[in-house]
A and B are shown apart, each in its own frame.
Chain A
Amino acid sequence: MEAESRVPGPPPLSGSPPGGGGGAAAAAAAPRPGPPGAARAPPPPAPPAELGFDDDEEDLEVFSKDTSLTEANSFSPLIPTSPSSMLNQYKFEDEPELRDLFITVDDPESHITAIETFITYRVVTKTSRGEFDSSEYEVRRRYQDFLWLKSRLEEAHPTLIIPPLPEKFIMKGMVERFSDEFIETRRKALHKFLNRIAEHPTLTFNEDFKIFLTAQAWELSSHKKQGPGLFSRVGQTVRAVASSVRGGGVKNRPDMFTDINDYMETFNQKINLLDKISQRIYKEERGYYCEMKEYGPIHTLWCASEEDLVDSLKGVASCIDKCCKATENRMAGLSENLLPVLHEYVLYSEVLTGVLKRRDQIQAELDSKVDALSNKKAEKDLLTEEIGNLEDKVECANNALKADWDRWKQNMQHDMKTAFLSVAENNIHYYEQVKHTFLFYFYYFLFISIPLRSQCIVFKNNCLYPHLNVLSSNSIFLSNWCLIGQYTWYVFYLSPSMLILSSSSTEGSLVLLSTEI
């Protein structure tokens, strides 16, 4: 048969054919027949391990031919390596070729001492920047270190939007602090945290950031001690509390920042809801998966007492099993592409509230000096000079915040759009997979009553066209295959609306064309 030349090698005659593998094989093997119709979705993005060399090249095009990048992609097994999630990791608004700092967080390790148990993560940095002494660094950091970095950045840039860190611990549910799921979620969030800083036009050049990425453990400890001590931080906190008590800055706050504040209130509400809804959907999908896992095998069990129904029942059992696999993929898509994004923006809400407060405090400082000026006649010159400085400070802070806000807004839109698009795609792919599985079953059992003959039987638009030979080698690709009974059955798509069911039995193949139901 002409079509056989297209099949990439004989498929293994085992009981369980690859779920999405058929699609991947199709992508690698034969040319596509024209534009895919609405009935068929493009094959799923398979992990690079399964795809041919072509797809690695595609990756390289996006990220530039920098060899350091390919190493970054391939060396860490813990980072999801599917193309779509890689795109999520390396999201940037600048052009790819301008990136010169690549950070990965992986390899969580447990450390047990007499006092405590904690986890450290490996942070690997690759860079071509001159400020860095070397082009590659590998250090181990624990959560505390990340907290330190964040607070240092907040101090240095009070009105810049510092990316959020994952929570210290989860209150709800008795999730053990060191469960694998918890550690993995945290690792991904920490990875995101560092990369967001790296992408930030200002923060990326922060000195503490550089030390965080490059210093060995003892170096970092000693550097931490050098920083503004506990007392100065206390002083800041006291001033902050005092100014907020005074209702600092709100009366002179430019409208723009009031708008941002109002926006954030609503946004915060909605994003929290979306986070909860999405977690709930994940839970329900998992529940569905568990029940389906039990549902399928009952059909196989039933076979034991029914001779004549064995094929029908086993067929349904295998369809349901494929459904389960497809559901697993759907869930993985949610947990990789949607849940972390929503959760990060839940945490961002808190960050932004803090930034607005700090801006208000700076404004409050100015306002209080201005008030003082109008009250105290003496020390006029000193106050005026101070006020001048503070006015500059306020203007800087406002501009910084404004610019960062615009940038944040843009990022947020992009992230949300990408996340929800990927959910939609995941769901489309899920339904396509399940549909094809059951469609195959349907056609097989509907047509199984037609006796095998050696010539082609064409059944199109509910009519029989004997001896019609429409198989042209350019237009067929293998979409799926399944083992039923003794024979292997192949499904080929001739066009988006016509498929061929073919058997490998030596008695001659039963070839059918039909329109989709």
Chain B
Amino acid sequence: MERPEAAPLGASHSCQAGEAEPGPGPAEEEPGGGAAGTMMEDCLSKKIEITVSEAEKRTGRNAMNMQETYTAYLIETRAVESQTEGQCSPPDSLWRRYSEFELLRNYLLVNYPQIVVPPLPEKRAEFVWHKLSADNMDPDFVERRRIGLENFLIRVASHPIICQDKIFYSFLTQEGGWKEMVNETGFQLKADSRLKALNATFRVKNPDKRFTELKHYSDELQSVISHLLRVRARVADRLYGVYKVHGNYGRVFSEWSAIEKEMGDGLQSAGHHMDVYAASIDDILEEEEHYADQLKEYLFYAEALRAVCRKHELMQYDLEMAAQDLASKKQQCEELATGTLRTFSLKGMTSKLFGQETPEQREGKIKVLEEQIHEGEEQLKSKNVEGREFVKSAWTDIERFKEQKNHDLKEALISYAVMQISMCKKGIQVWTNAKECFSKM
């Protein structure tokens, strides 16, 4: 089973999924188009390069005809083959806003409940530390969101199953009328009601144990990543403080150097390095936000995992209810046929009080029940098959997800180490320079 190549966030701004690190044991690839029956190797990401290259502020009128400001993102697509031939054909492009991405994702969630659907970047800035803006219009936030949206599209395009969805393809290629197209599919009606799902979660008797474990895992994942991000934000805040206060040295050294004869030059130049030191933290922390975004993606993935579990519980509950219903109908039928009354029923009571039915009536009822039982058995069979297929394909995708997660998180941790190393190198540089200045004092 080929592992789809999803390049981790922050690796590059316009990632070509085709250039991502090769995973272990690359599977064979069919040439474009794919022979009948092999859908796995034909990820869309192999055929086209997707980038979200720009973000723009727009004003427009919303559904309630009120003025609003929003950001639009430019999606560019380019066929991969044209690259290798050395020509650079201009990319196709269109503009989309965040709400359209959300619509796409909801559509995918409803139509592919067995898939762990990649999450979108956060709607509002969370886990912010004091310098970071919580404003959705803040340019840094917009930039990080742009990268997150690109990552989302690449992940979808790299998924063997959902990359083939027509709605997804039109999202990338058809600017006008896409919204209408999605709504026409009527996917909102297909969606399971939240209440139904909650009910099923509580009442299901025999869910597949693996899904129960997966639910616990996703809860733990969410809790530990939230905790990590919260503390990371506080660490960033403190680090920011340490660096920025050093900037004050620059100003005071400079003023002090004015009254010193021998020490003046050393102080003045040391002060300059203190300013450099204080300024360097901005870039450092901006880079760290990308690392935080990588973790956030998996925080949101936890919810996607839970969605799959919920669907399973719903199907399982449905199955159990159908089986229960069938069993009770069979029993009813048996009781009617043999005339015994094993269970209390209103019918039984009323017939005792007001006299029993005629044999013809009874025959009629039995016939109806037998039909229903026959229908029920067919339904139960197909529900069972559905359920089993769901579990099978869901579990396949979950295994795929697990491998992706392990790979991505390992890389994220390494990138964290790399960031720390680069921060230290800068620090060593600045303080070595400052030391030289001090020694000239």
Contacts and interface: CB of A to CB of B under 8 A. Distances in A.
A421 B417 contact: no
B416 to A, nearest CB: 7
Nearest to A424: B435
B406 A298 contact: no
A383 interface: no
Contacts of A38: 432
Contacts of B414: 312, 441-442, 445-446
A432 B428 contact: yes
Nearest to B432: A428
Given A284-B238, A428-B428, A445-B410, A420 B438 contact: yes
A19 to B, nearest CB: 15
Contacts of A284: 238, 241-242, 245
Contacts of A295: 228, 231-232, 235
B263 A417 contact: yes
A137 B242 CA distance: 45
Interface in B210-240: 217, 220-221, 224-225, 227-228, 231-232, 234-235, 237-239
A292 B224 contact: no
A421 B238 contact: no
A281 B278 CA distance: 12
B232 to A, nearest CB: 7
Contacts of A117: none
Contact of B417 (A292, A420, A442): A442
Interface in A271-324: 273-274, 277, 280-281, 284-285, 287-288, 291-292, 294-295, 298-299, 301-302, 304-306, 308-309, 312-313, 315-316, 319, 323
B412 to A, nearest CB: 9
B424 A434 contact: yes
A479 to B, nearest CB: 15
A281 B242 contact: yes
A309 B414 CA distance: 12
Interface stretch (B96-104, B130-138, B248-256, B336-344): B248-256
A277 B409 contact: no
B427 A277 contact: no
A427 interface: yes
B418 interface: yes
Chain B interface SS verdict (over half): helix
Q: Which of B262, B428, B434 has most chain A Cβ within 10 Å?
A: B428
Contacts of A253: none
B406 A308 contact: yes
Nearest to B232: A295
A372 B433 CA distance: 61
Given A305-B220, A308-B406, A288 B435 contact: no
Interface stretch (A86-94, A262-270, A356-364): A262-270
A120 B181 CA distance: 87
A305 B217 contact: yes
Contacts of A323: 420
Interface residues of B, number: 50
B231 A294 contact: yes
Contacts of A239: none
A129 interface: no
B431 A416 contact: no
Given A302-B228, A424-B438, A291 B234 contact: yes
B231 A435 contact: no
B255 A270 contact: yes
Interface in B252-289: 252, 255-256, 258-259, 262-263, 266, 270
Nearest to B422: A517
Interface string B400-438: 000000100110011011101100110110011011001
A288 B431 contact: no
For the residues of A in contact with B, the DSSP-based class is helix
A49 B108 CA distance: 66
B144 interface: no
Contact of A273 (B248, B406, B410, B425): B248
A59 interface: no
Contact of B424 (A424, A432, A446): A432
Given A295-B235, A428-B428, A312 B270 contact: no
Nearest to B233: A291
Given A292-B235, A420-B438, A432-B428, A442 B241 contact: no
Given A421-B439, A428-B428, A309 B418 contact: no
Contacts of B225: 302
A288 B242 contact: yes
B246 interface: yes
A439 interface: yes
A309 B263 contact: no
A477 B256 CA distance: 44
Contact of A435 (B241, B410, B424): B424
Nearest to A281: B245
Contacts of B241: 284, 287-288
Nearest to A441: B417
A438 interface: yes
A442 B422 CA distance: 12
A14 interface: no
Nearest to A440: B417
B441 interface: yes
A280 B245 contact: yes
Contacts of B431: 424, 427-428, 431
Contacts of A267: 256, 259
Q: For B232, B238, B410, B418, which residue has the most chain A Cβ atoms within 10 angstroms?
A: B238
A413 interface: yes
B421 A442 contact: yes
A404 interface: no
A280 B238 CA distance: 12
Interface string A62-76: 000000000000000
Contacts of A439: 417, 421
A199 interface: no
Contact of B421 (A294, A312, A417, A438): A438
Most buried by A among B424, B425, B432, B434: B424
A442 B425 CA distance: 15
A435 B270 contact: no
Given A274-B252, A287-B238, A308-B406, A431 B438 contact: no
A425 B249 CA distance: 17
Interface of A: 38, 41, 263, 266-267, 270, 273-274, 277, 280-281, 284-285, 287-288, 291-292, 294-295, 298-299, 301-302, 304-306, 308-309, 312-313, 315-316, 319, 323, 413, 416-417, 420-421, 424-425, 427-428, 430-432, 434-435, 438-439, 441-442, 445-446, 517
Which 9 pairs of residues, A with B, have the shortest CB-CB distance? Answer: A435-B424, A424-B435, A288-B238, A431-B427, A284-B241, A270-B256, A431-B424, A417-B441, A438-B417
Given A420-B438, A428-B431, 7 more contacts: A274-B256, A299-B228, A428-B427, A439-B417, A441-B414, A442-B421, A445-B417
19 contacts: A41-B428, A270-B252, A274-B252, A277-B252, A288-B235, A288-B238, A288-B241, A298-B231, A302-B225, A308-B406, A312-B410, A316-B413, A424-B438, A428-B428, A431-B425, A432-B428, A438-B420, A438-B421, A439-B417
Interface of B: 217, 220-221, 224-225, 227-228, 231-232, 234-235, 237-239, 241-242, 245-246, 248-249, 252, 255-256, 258-259, 262-263, 266, 270, 406, 409-410, 413-414, 416-418, 420-421, 424-425, 427-428, 431-432, 434-435, 438-439, 441
